[in-house]
């Protein structure tokens, strides 16, 4: 049910411009692509964050007392996040700890790890891209959704800073992290679109065709023919 919910929320758009190949694009087509999808990605983030939070609580029925206390504290920060109050989620409010304080208190334990995930996503939404990368790189998870989303978000941050080669690398990692029928085609589409606007139409075509072949019933797969046609025309 959670996967169906995410799939209904997410649908990628593409930029219409074509540019010549270059190592770093300054805040043009790639940034437009990331920005245009920010609202959709934030909605996905909220849903996935709920899943991840529930997953961590389930996994931690028996933990150290400090982590038990941390679980109680992180609840309010998660509540603020899901309500869209990102500043309170990050820095706390009315005596309730925010994710930054939770990271400082819990270090690299499970609560600190989860708080790093949330903090990185908030900094990404606030256009503090290097901070987003720093916190997301601290996060580790074997969870199919959270782990891939963290990698993709690092890619988004690099794309916003014009570091397209790094963005492409992280989108590849996200797409291959844990293959499934809806986050995988989403990240493949992000990857192919960035390749396309950086002049790598041939490689982009390969990923568009992968979506068509392996994920034809995904949101991305249903619209893929026009992207394939565009990439072929660009070659």
User: Residue 195: what pLDDT?
Assistant: 96
Tokens in use for 211? Answer: 């979506």
- Which of these ranges, 5-14, 92-101, 186-195, has the smallest mean pLDDT? 5-14
Tens digit of pLDDT for each residue in 56-65?
A: 555 554 444 5
Question: 2-10+27-234 has which fold?
Answer: 1.25.40
Higher pLDDT among residues 182 and 80, named by residue:
80
Q: How far apart are CA 110 and CA 128, in angstroms?
A: 24
- Average pLDDT, stretch 173-197? 92
Tokens in use for 162? Answer: 């014009």
For the cut 50, the answer to whether the pLDDT of residue 1 exceeds it is no
User: Residue 148: what pLDDT?
Assistant: 92
Tens digit of pLDDT for each residue in 75-128?
A: 999 999 999 999 999 999 999 999 999 999 988 888 999 999 999 999 999 999
For the cut 70, the answer to whether the pLDDT of residue 19 exceeds it is no
Tens digit of pLDDT for each residue in 38-56?
A: 555 555 555 555 555 555 5
What number of residues does the chain have?
235
The three-class DSSP label of residue 96 is strand
Asked if 88 and 52 touch (Cβ cutoff 8 Å), the reply is no
Q: Nearest Cα to 125, choosing from 43, 68, 62?
A: 43
pTM for the predicted model, two decimal places: 0.74
User: Residue 215: what pLDDT?
Assistant: 96
Map out the domains of the chain as residue ranges.
2-10+27-234
């Amino acid at each position: 049910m959670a996967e169906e919910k995410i799939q209904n929320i997410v649908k990628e758009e593409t930029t219409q411009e074509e540019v010549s190949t270059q190592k770093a694009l300054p805040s043009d087509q790639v940034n437009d692509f990331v920005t245009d999808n920010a609202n959709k990605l934030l909605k996905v983030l909220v849903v996935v964050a709920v899943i991840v939070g529930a997953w961590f609580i389930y996994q931690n029925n028996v933990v150290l007392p400090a982590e038990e206390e941390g679980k109680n504290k992180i609840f309010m920060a998660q509540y603020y996040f899901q309500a869209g109050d990102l500043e309170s989620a990050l820095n706390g409010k009315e005596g309730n700890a925010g994710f930054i304080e939770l990271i400082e208190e819990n270090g690299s334990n499970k609560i600190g790890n989860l708080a790093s995930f949330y903090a990185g996503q908030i900094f990404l939404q606030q256009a503090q891209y290097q901070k987003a990368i720093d916190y997301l790189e601290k996060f580790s998870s074997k969870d199919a959704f959270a782990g891939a989303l963290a990698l993709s978000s690092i890619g988004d941050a690099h794309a916003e800073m014009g570091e397209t080669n790094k963005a492409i690398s992280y989108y590849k990692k996200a797409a291959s992290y844990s293959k499934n029928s809806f986050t995988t085609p989403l990240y493949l589409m992000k990857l192919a679109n960035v390749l396309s606007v950086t002049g790598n139409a041939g490689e982009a075509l390969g990923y568009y065709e992968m979506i068509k072949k392996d994920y034809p019933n995904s949101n991305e797969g249903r619209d893929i023919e026009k992207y394939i046609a565009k990439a072929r025309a660009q070659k």
